[in-house]
Chains A and B, each alone.
Chain A
C-alpha cells in the first residue's frame, strides 16, 4: 500500500465539508472546555457522544479527537492568566505561565503556549503515521492470550501510574470491570446483575456512566467552591504577544525535545498528557544551565509542558488504533464510541476501515492549524470566556447532560443512571478515588472476559497458556513490574524515614 494513496484517502474524509465542519466544531468545543476551569475534556467528550449518533463514524471520531487536543490548547489559557489549570494536564504550565502574567508578559506566554502546542501536535502526527501501522501489523498474530495480557497491562499501568494511591486506582479498575458485567453475557447469553430491570439487559449505558462520573460529579465538586475574578483581555495585542528575538534562542529545541518526550509517554498505556507535561518539565529542569530560573517565569517552562501534553494526546491514538487498547480514560471513551458505531477496534482496523485511520490522522493536521488560528489572533475571545459566571454555566451543562443521555436510546432510565453515577462520582472525587480507571475497566472488562474465556477454552483449562506465547509473557511480566513498583517506592520511602528518625535520635 502506498502511503500517498492512503493520505489522499484520508484527505478525502478530512477535507470533505462534513469533515472540516466537525473538526472545527471539535477543536472549538475543546478549546472552550479547556479554557473553563472545572470542565475537562472527558466531560466534554461524554457530552458530545450522543451527537455522534448522527454522524458517520470517521467524522464522529474526528470531532471527538478534536475536543481532546483542542482542550490542551485551551487549558493553558486559564493556567497562564489565572494560575488555575483549565485541564489537569496544564497544571505544570501554571508554574512559569502565571509568573509571566505577574510580570505583565501574559501575551508572550500565551503565544509561546500556542506555538509549543502546535509543534507538539505536528511531531506527534508523524509518529502516529509511522508507528501505528507497524504496531498493528505486528499485532496481527495476537491470540486471545495476548489480548488478555495486554489489556491487563493497560489496566495495571493506568491505575498505578495515575496520581495518588495506586491501590485506589486498582480498586477503581475492578469496580469498572464489575460494572461492565451488568447485562447480557456475550458468551452464554445469560443475564447478569440486571436487578430484574429490562433497561439493564444491554448493560449500563456508557454515555450515562461517563456523563455522571465526569459531568455531574465534577459539577457537584465545583459547587460551593470559591469563584475567581475574571482577567482583562484589553492588554493583549498581537505585538505584545511576540517574544523578543533573543528569547527564541533554544525555545525551538525545548519544544522539539518535549514533543519527543510527550509522544513517547503518550503512546505508553496508562500514562496521559498530565504525566507527559510533568516529565518534560522535569527534563527541562535537569538540562537547564540555570535550573533555579525555571518557575520564575521562563518561556521554556511554558513551552515544555505545552508541547508535551499536546504531543501525548495525539500519540495516545497509537495504542488505541493499532491494538484497540486505550491508554487512558479519554481514549477509552473514544474506543467505546467506536464500538457503539459498530467498529471493532484492533489491529485489523487500519486495513478494514482505512478511511477511519487516515482520515483521523489528516484531520489532526487540519485541526492543529485551526487551533493555531483560534489561539493566536482570536485569543482575546477566549480570555473573555473566562468571565462567564459559573451559576449560568452549570445549569446549562446539567441540561445538556440530561437531554444528551436521554437522546442516545430515548431512555428515561438512563437519566437516573447518570444521576446515580454523578453522586457516586462526587464522593469518589472527595475521597480521592480516581474515576478514570473505573471507566477504563468498564470498557476493557467485557473484552477481557471474552478473551480470558476463549484462551482457557483453547488451552483446555490450562493457565500456563498465558506463558506459552512470547508477547503475552512479556506483557504479564511488565504488569507484575508495574504492580511491584509502588510497593517498592513505598518501602524505600519508609526505610528513608526510619533512617532519618534514627539520625534525629542520634543527634540528641
Chain B
C-alpha cells in the first residue's frame, strides 16, 4: 500500500526543520556556557535540536495523512492583511476613526458577495463604539480624528 506524498504536510515538516536549524545556528552565536553554569545559548540549542528531530518524524508521518481541502484562500488572507496594515499605518497618523473605516472596508472585501451597505453600517457603528469605549472610556492615547 503506497500513498502519494502529501506535499503540504511534507513542506510544513521541512519548514519546522529549517526553523530548528535556524534556532541552533542563531543560538550558537550566544554564549553557551557549561552544564554547570549555562549561558543564554544553551537552552535554545537544546530546543532547536528537539525541533529538528520532530521535523524528521513529521516528515515520515506525512505518508499517513489525508489531503487538505481549501488550503489556499488568497482573497481573505490578502484583504485581512491589507486591513491590518491600513489600520496600523493610519491609527497614530490620522486617528482611530479613519483607521477603523479603512480596516472594516478592506476586510469586508474578503467574502463574495461584497455587501457595501452592511460594511458601511458596521464601520460607522464600530467607529462610534471605538471612540466612546477606547478613547473616552479606557483613555488610550490616540486621537479620534487628526487632520
Contacts and interface: CB of A to CB of B under 8 A. Distances in A.
Interface string A435-448: 00000000001000
B94 interface: no
A170 B77 contact: no
Interface in A1-55: 51, 54
A457 B110 contact: no
A378 B24 CA distance: 56
A224 B70 contact: yes
B140 A178 contact: no
Contacts of B44: 178, 181, 192-193
A407 B133 CA distance: 12
B23 interface: yes
B126 to A, nearest CB: 5
Contacts of B87: 402, 415
A456 to B, nearest CB: 6
Nearest to A428: B12
Contacts of A190: 30-31, 39-40
B118 interface: yes
B63 to A, nearest CB: 13
A406 B140 contact: yes
B111 A223 contact: yes
Interface in A213-244: 216, 219-220, 223-224
A223 B73 contact: yes
Interface stretch (A305-313, A354-362, A392-400): A392-400
A219 B110 CA distance: 11
Contacts of A489: none
Contacts of A432: 65, 68
A457 B37 contact: yes
Chain B, interface residues (CB within 8 Å), range = 35 or more
B103 interface: yes
A168 interface: yes
Contact of A402 (B55, B103, B115): B103
A165 B61 contact: yes
B58 interface: yes
Interface string A299-336: 00000000000000000000000000000000000000
Given A165-B61, A167-B57, A395-B119, A402 B84 contact: yes
Nearest to A390: B111
A422 interface: yes
Q: Secondary structure at chain A's binding surface: helix, strand, loop or mixed?
A: helix
Interface residues of A, number: 58
A399 B57 contact: no
B80 A220 contact: yes
B55 A171 contact: yes
Nearest to A395: B104
A177 interface: yes
B84 A167 contact: no
A507 interface: no
A257 interface: no
B38 interface: yes
Kindly name the residue among A167, A216, A399, A412 whose own CB sees the greatest number of chain B CB atoms within 10 A. Answer: A399
A101 to B, nearest CB: 28
A403 B130 contact: yes
Given A187-B40, A192-B44, A174 B50 contact: yes
Given A181-B44, A190-B31, A192-B30, A456 B84 contact: no
23 contacts: A171-B51, A171-B55, A175-B19, A175-B51, A178-B44, A178-B51, A192-B26, A219-B80, A224-B76, A389-B118, A391-B111, A392-B121, A392-B122, A394-B107, A395-B122, A399-B100, A403-B134, A416-B84, A422-B84, A430-B70, A432-B68, A433-B12, A453-B42
Given A181-B43, A223-B76, 15 more contacts: A171-B51, A178-B23, A178-B48, A188-B39, A190-B31, A192-B26, A220-B77, A223-B110, A395-B122, A396-B126, A403-B96, A432-B68, A445-B47, A456-B36, A463-B35
The 6 closest A-B pairs by CB, nearest first: A461-B35, A461-B36, A185-B40, A419-B84, A415-B88, A190-B40
